[in-house]
Amino acid sequence: MKNLFAIAVVFMLSICAVMAQNEKYTQAMTEGIQALNSLDKAKPDVKTLQDISNRFERIASAEPKEWLPKYYAAYSNVILGFVGASLTEKDQYLDKANVLLKDAEGILGKPNDELLVMKAYQSQIHLAADPMNRYQEDGAKFSEYLEAAKAANAENPRIYYLEGSNLFFTPEEYGGGKKVAKPFLEKARQKFSAFKPQSAIHPDWGKVETEWMLSQSN
Amino acid sequence: MKLFYYLLLLTSPVAYSQKMIIGKVTDKKGNPLPGTNVFLKGTYDGTTTNANGTFSFKTSEKDTAMVAASFVGFESSEQKITLTEKGADLVIQLEELANELNTVVITAGAFEASDEKRMAMLKPLDIVTTAGAAADITGAMQFLPGAQRVGEQEGLFVRGGSGQETKIVIDGMIVQNPFFSSLPDVQQRGRFNPFMFKGTSFSTGGYSAQYGQALSSVLLLNTTDKVSNNGLGISLNLANAGLNYDYANKNQSVSMVGYYGNLRPLFKLVRQNVEWLHEPEFKGSSLTYRLKTSKNGVLKVYGMYSDSHLSMNSKDPANESGKTKLVLRNNNAFTTSTYTDSWNEGRWSLNSGFSYSRNRDDMTFDSVGFDRFDERTQARLVLTRLLTGNNTILFGAEAHAINLSNDVDGKLYHLKDRYTAVFVESEIYITRQLAGRVGLRGEYSSLIGRANLAPRLSFAYKTGKYSQISLAAGQFYQNPDYRYLYLNKNLNYERADHLIVNYQIIKNQRTFRIETFYKNYAQLVREFTGEKFDANPYRFPWGATNNEGNGYARGFDFFWRDQKTIKNFDYWVTYSFVDSERLFQQFDQSATPTFISNHNISLITKKWFAKARTNVSMTYAFTSGRPYYNPNNEKFLSDKTPSVNNVSIQASKLQSIKGNLVIFYANVDNILNTKNVFTYRYTPDGKTRYAVGPQSYRSFFVGMQIMLSKKAKVEKNDF
């Protein structure tokens, strides 16, 4: 009887510990995501972003079986790759994002649609850092990753958001422009309205940006 | 009840006593590193360093913990610490990762155009947007430091070397006929489209042991791995019409090109200094197939075929009528396939290739036949091992089977060469500031029945954050001109020894580079005819020959490029000085050869007009006078031509028409209509002097490129 009781206690304790750990994870992730969402979208602060990226990396170190911390750390580094001061600095962040995405892929066993979208996003920002010399290679990678993401989950709204934003920022003379981007952004809007993230900490970004671009496209 | 307290204790971590971990993160020089992530591995405990590089955070861990510190661009560090009651106070130093600012690159003698390497001084697109280069690779290369312009011949003349002393190499394979068939006094274009290549490396000497059979220089061209656009493209200009089609899916891609050209319309508009009987007419096609065989494996197969027909009256002082009627029909095929792969996370990599080329010129001079035929089959294999600390060692071998024949008025001369080479080369980083490359190449040619062993050596030392000095030295062998070998197969290799010192500084989109060199020529072929010097460059060398020639070339060159000072404006200036004398060919004393110009200056400017989507480029080129042979002057080769000046402009405009992208381009060469003279020749009696100049003086060219695929996307400089 005493034994049984002891077992029950140990069992309960371990559940409590797991729950506490889980709670800690969700809380840390939620805080990180909130920090990301409260960034100034037009001009994100480098130091804040570095801090956010560091937070996610710490979570990743504590939770080696979770892919989301790596994913968000990569996301932060892609944004850093956009706001970095020099080409060298931008590339360092973007290279780091690639490493983190590779780690996340390793945790999952194979890339899912969100990782592929993030890879496409990374290629887009890598291209933007030196467009004259990179459009060929990165342009091809961008479409390749998005195609793969579509094959994995055509309902992911971020695929269409990235397609739209890419055209949105491409000058009309090169086959881009707001007009051309609009149908993609509208498709993204439609997919966003139907989209339900798996949990509160799963990827759910891009909607605000889509709405902003659509407001500019009229 | 006791148990309840236990439970409370275990599930509420706050109840633990917390320890404070503080410290500072710096680089190796002690500069603080703000933004560094410092944390205990496997826990949530950690923080980001502040502006002073310091940090502090709390932890509930006990006994020992692993502290990790990571910062982008630096090597991450991990250290085990013991947690006492007081916590811990740490000083963490991080080492910078190797990057282009802190690691030296071996650069002496190399001038690269590349997207991938940041030390590259040019980008591949610079080649097609340079006015005066006519979108020709070698045309653009001749504006680079170390190159001399020789207007009436094709080829790259590098630092006192002749055009034959430069080999053109595509993906490691020697190109047997890189230019359209040579014509008397008419410079020919290269056969390859610059858009085929992702990187170009122009060597001005001291090049790697991976390459041989070039006394002066190698031009290395690397083909692209991917197609840029899917779909159909049309090109139309004053000289030709072409179609190209690209298709790519995930693992493979195909590009097809077909064209027909006829220079008659252009020559009707641009006054010719050459009397054409049949304006050049040509057609050709090429096919490229690329397959991704595995994660890192890539197979590329490229094949091209072209034929051309032309006829002209060329100036010929030796002929009574003063001209010779020349008819030329050429057909040329070149195929190359390469396979590259790497294993074990890049620790081993393989480059292999197989190539076959075949060229036939059916030629008559005043209905006397001079047919030329050549074919080359080659195979190449290079294995590279990446060692720790970025050190590498590579081993390789190549084998060529070359058949040549010349039919001179029914008499057939034939040559067969089986050429093999093995090489080994290692790149060693002694420190991040000091690196060396040591190589050795051994060659054997069955034609002359001889072997050679050529050592190559380079060093580079980083003198500052943006600057470095390098040194290169080596021996280079080349088989004598095959025309000598028809009659004398006992000749030895010709040899050149190079010594090059280079200083460069690249900072903030500005580049300054200066290089000085000394080149020693030995074992050059001399010909003894027992007669007066014969200046006809197309004569067949019938005299007795030996390897007793020698010579030297020395000088320096200078390069400055600025892409920063004025927005959307890019310019570069090169100046090359060379002083050279040789005792070779029919020379009976040392003299400066006719292809040497002491001073070459070029100024290249490019301006991008964003609103008009137009790129305008202007090039000014100056070439000082070259020696020419005057039979009436006792002093051999002491006369000099006037200098050559050329100003050319080029403009290209991007336009979207119904969703298709169209690029319009126009250029004017020699806009000032300068009557340049490249060299002079004399009639056999020595009384009359002829000037040899360009095919036309002021000339213009217009054309357009249409990309019919809606997917086609083109950036700023893509024309």
Integer Cα distance of B535 and B184 in angstroms: 13
Tokens for A135, please give them. 């459009």
B718 pLDDT exceeds 50? no
B34, B118, B228 ranked by CB distance to A136: nearest: B228
Residue of B nearest to A93 (CA): B72
Structural contact between residues B137 and B194, judged by C-beta atoms closer than 8 angstroms: yes
Per residue in B107-143, pLDDT (tens digit) is 777 877 766 665 566 776 777 778 888 778 888 888 9
pLDDT given at position B14:
47
pLDDT bin (cut points 50, 70, 90) of residue B8 is very low
Least confident of B284-288, B293-297, B446-450: B293-297
Structural domain includes residue A165: no
CA B243 to chain centre: 27
> By percentage, how much of chain B surpasses pLDDT 90?
58
B654–A92: do the CB atoms touch at under 8 Å? Answer: no
Integer Cα distance of A154 and B584 in angstroms: 72
Integer Cα distance of A81 and A121 in angstroms: 11
> By percentage, how much of chain A surpasses pLDDT 70?
90
- Lookup result for tokens 């993160």: B25
Domain count, chain A: 1
B632 shares a domain with B535: yes
Residue of A nearest to B122 (CA): A133
Structural domain includes residue A202: no
Structural domain includes residue B715: no
- State whether residue A99 sits within 8 Å of chain B by CB: no
Integer Cα distance of B349 and B340 in angstroms: 7
B7, B13, B39 ranked by CB distance to A58: nearest: B39
B35–A47: do the CB atoms touch at under 8 Å? Answer: yes
CB contacts of B226 in chain A (<8 Å) are: 136-137, 140
B116 shares a domain with B78: no
User: Of B493, B424, B590, nearest to B214 (Cα)?
Assistant: B493
Tokens for B625, please give them. 């006078």
**Vertex A166 angle, CA A165 and A169, to 5°:** 80
pLDDT bin (cut points 50, 70, 90) of residue B715 is very low
CB contacts of B716 in chain A (<8 Å) are: 131-132
H/E run at residue A210: helix A207-216
Q: Name the residue type at position A203.
A: P
First to last CA, chain A: 75
Structural contact between residues B651 and B667, judged by C-beta atoms closer than 8 angstroms: yes
Mean pLDDT of B599-605: 95
B536 shares a domain with B417: yes
Structural domain includes residue B268: yes
**Vertex B202 angle, CA A135 and B605, to 5°:** 60
- State whether residue A20 sits within 8 Å of chain B by CB: yes
β partners of residue B19: B59
CB contacts of B224 in chain A (<8 Å) are: 136
Q: Which residues, 6 or more positions from A109, have their beta carbon under 8 angstroms from its beta carbon?
A: none
Of B186 and B227, the structure prediction assigns the larger pLDDT to B186
pTM of the predicted model over 0.95: no
B48, B100, B250 ranked by CB distance to A54: nearest: B48
pLDDT given at position B714:
42
Q: Tell me whether strands B166-170 and B217-223 are parallel, antiparallel or unpaired.
A: parallel
B19 shares a domain with B165: no
Per residue in B189-199, pLDDT (tens digit) is 888 888 788 88
A93–B228: do the CB atoms touch at under 8 Å? Answer: no
Q: Is the dihedral of CA A169, A171, A176, A179 positive or negative?
A: positive
A22 pLDDT exceeds 60? yes
SS (H, E, C) B644-699: EEEEEEEEEEEEEECCEEEEEEEEEECCCCCCCCCEEEECCCCCCEEEECCCCCCE
B34, B226, B613 ranked by CB distance to A137: nearest: B226
Per residue in B540-559, pLDDT (tens digit) is 899 999 999 999 999 999 99
Give the 3-state secondary structure of residue B256. strand
- State whether residue A96 sits within 8 Å of chain B by CB: yes
B2 pLDDT exceeds 80? no
A130 pLDDT exceeds 90? no
Structural contact between residues B33 and B26, judged by C-beta atoms closer than 8 angstroms: yes
Examine the fold and report which residue of B94, B121, B143 is the final residue of a domain before the chain moves on.
Answer: B94
Closest Cα in chain B, distance from residue A100 (Å): 12
B315 shares a domain with B441: yes
Structural domain includes residue B247: yes
Structural domain includes residue B716: no
CB contacts of A173 in chain B (<8 Å) are: 613, 654-656
Q: Cβ of B580: how many Cβ atoms within 10 Å?
A: 22
Structural contact between residues B270 and B696, judged by C-beta atoms closer than 8 angstroms: yes
Q: Which residues, 6 or more positions from B550, have their beta carbon under 8 angstroms from its beta carbon?
A: B520, B521, B522, B523, B524, B582, B583, B584
Per residue in B472-490, pLDDT (tens digit) is 999 999 999 988 998 899 9
Integer Cα distance of B37 and B55 in angstroms: 9
Structural domain includes residue B103: no
Least confident of A158-162, A180-184, B520-524: A180-184
CB contacts of A50 in chain B (<8 Å) are: 35, 48
- State whether residue A145 sits within 8 Å of chain B by CB: no
User: Of B88, B23, B80, nearest to B59 (Cα)?
Assistant: B88
A135–B3: do the CB atoms touch at under 8 Å? Answer: no
Closest Cα in chain A, distance from residue B28 (Å): 19
Residue of B nearest to A148 (CA): B250
pLDDT given at position A17:
55
Mean pLDDT of chain B: 88
B151 shares a domain with B33: no
Structural contact between residues B232 and B243, judged by C-beta atoms closer than 8 angstroms: yes
A16, A28, A133 ranked by CB distance to B11: nearest: A16
pLDDT given at position A7:
64
Structural contact between residues A70 and A108, judged by C-beta atoms closer than 8 angstroms: no
B413 shares a domain with B558: yes
A88–B99: do the CB atoms touch at under 8 Å? Answer: yes
B115–A137: do the CB atoms touch at under 8 Å? Answer: yes
Structural domain includes residue A161: no
B393 shares a domain with B338: yes
A61–B100: do the CB atoms touch at under 8 Å? Answer: no
B661–A136: do the CB atoms touch at under 8 Å? Answer: no
A20, A92, A173 ranked by CB distance to B655: nearest: A173
Least confident of A52-61, B197-206, B300-309: B197-206
pLDDT bin (cut points 50, 70, 90) of residue B655 is confident
pLDDT given at position B658:
73
β partners of residue B306: B284, B332
Mean pLDDT of B462-481: 93
Of A51 and A134, the structure prediction assigns the larger pLDDT to A51
Mean pLDDT of A55-81: 94
pLDDT given at position B12:
47
Tokens for B8, please give them. 């409370």
Closest Cα in chain B, distance from residue A191 (Å): 24
Residue of A nearest to B227 (CA): A136
* CATH number, domain containing residue A91: 1.25.40
Closest Cα in chain B, distance from residue A210 (Å): 22
* CATH number, domain containing residue B23: 2.60.40.1120
Cβ-in-10-Å burial (0-12, 13-18, 19+) of B180 comes to: buried
Q: Which residue range forms the structural domain that includes residue B196? A: 110-707
B529 shares a domain with B429: yes
Structural domain includes residue A57: yes
Domain count, chain B: 2
Pick the residue of A58, A65, A92, A150 with the most B CBs within 10 A to test the interface with B by mutation.
A58
Examine the fold and report which residue of B69, B94, B119 is the final residue of a domain before the chain moves on.
Answer: B94
* CATH number, domain containing residue B401: 2.40.170.20
Integer Cα distance of B159 and B40 in angstroms: 60
Give the 3-state secondary structure of residue B121. coil
pLDDT given at position B1:
46
Of B4 and B665, the structure prediction assigns the larger pLDDT to B665
pLDDT bin (cut points 50, 70, 90) of residue B461 is very high
- State whether residue A174 sits within 8 Å of chain B by CB: yes
Phi, psi angle pair for B556, to nearest 5°: -150, 160
CB contacts of A176 in chain B (<8 Å) are: 713
CB contacts of B11 in chain A (<8 Å) are: 13, 16-17, 20
B425 shares a domain with B306: yes
- State whether residue A57 sits within 8 Å of chain B by CB: yes
- Which residues in B147-274 belong to E strands, given as ranges? 147-148, 157-158, 166-170, 173-174, 197-203, 217-223, 231-237, 240-248, 252-262
- Lookup result for tokens 């490249």: B678
B228–A54: do the CB atoms touch at under 8 Å? Answer: no
pLDDT given at position A63:
92
Structural domain includes residue B99: no
Structural contact between residues B180 and B188, judged by C-beta atoms closer than 8 angstroms: yes
Give CA torsion, residues A40, A44, A48, A49, to 10 deg: 120
B250 pLDDT exceeds 80? no
Structural domain includes residue B100: no
Q: Name the residue type at position B636.
A: F
Around B510, how many Cα atoms within 13 Å sit in the side-chain half-sphere? 8
CB contacts of B248 in chain A (<8 Å) are: 140
Per residue in B338-386, pLDDT (tens digit) is 999 999 888 999 999 999 999 999 999 888 888 999 999 999 999 999 9
Buried b vs exposed e over B45-59: b needs ≥16 C-beta within 10 Å?
Answer: bbbbbeeebebebeb
pLDDT bin (cut points 50, 70, 90) of residue B646 is very high
CA A97 to chain centre: 10
- State whether residue A53 sits within 8 Å of chain B by CB: yes
pLDDT bin (cut points 50, 70, 90) of residue B719 is very low
Structural domain includes residue A83: yes
CB contacts of B661 in chain A (<8 Å) are: 174-175
Integer Cα distance of A172 and B134 in angstroms: 29
CB contacts of B3 in chain A (<8 Å) are: 9
Integer Cα distance of B358 and B375 in angstroms: 4
Structural domain includes residue B42: yes
Mean pLDDT of chain A: 87
Q: Which residue range forms the structural domain that includes residue A92? A: 2-154
H/E run at residue A59: helix A46-62
Q: How far is CA B194 from CA A208, B199, B257, in A?
A: 44, 10, 14
Q: Cβ of B585: how many Cβ atoms within 10 Å?
A: 18
How many interface pairs between A and B have CB atoms less than 8 angstroms apart? 105
B48–A50: do the CB atoms touch at under 8 Å? Answer: yes
B712 pLDDT exceeds 60? no
B654–A174: do the CB atoms touch at under 8 Å? Answer: yes
B150 shares a domain with B60: no
- Lookup result for tokens 């085929």: B196
Structural contact between residues B72 and B96, judged by C-beta atoms closer than 8 angstroms: no
Integer Cα distance of B375 and B402 in angstroms: 6
Per residue in B287-297, pLDDT (tens digit) is 999 998 988 89
B135 shares a domain with B78: no
Q: Cβ of A203: how many Cβ atoms within 10 Å?
A: 21
Tokens for B490, please give them. 């006992």
A88–B100: do the CB atoms touch at under 8 Å? Answer: yes
Structural domain includes residue A27: yes
Integer Cα distance of A172 and A158 in angstroms: 23
Closest Cα in chain B, distance from residue A184 (Å): 15
Structural domain includes residue A49: yes
pLDDT bin (cut points 50, 70, 90) of residue A5 is low
Integer Cα distance of B378 and B398 in angstroms: 7
Give CA torsion, residues B12, B13, B15, B20, to 10 deg: -160
Structural domain includes residue A37: yes
Per residue in A174-199, pLDDT (tens digit) is 778 888 899 999 999 999 999 999 99
Q: How far is CA A206 from CA A37, A162, A186, A202, B90, in A?
A: 10, 9, 13, 13, 41
B445 pLDDT exceeds 90? yes
Structural contact between residues B206 and B473, judged by C-beta atoms closer than 8 angstroms: yes
Per residue in B44-69, pLDDT (tens digit) is 999 999 999 999 998 888 888 899 99
Of how many residues is chain A composed?
218
Closest Cα in chain A, distance from residue B435 (Å): 22
Q: Tell me whether strands B77-82 and B64-70 are parallel, antiparallel or unpaired.
A: antiparallel
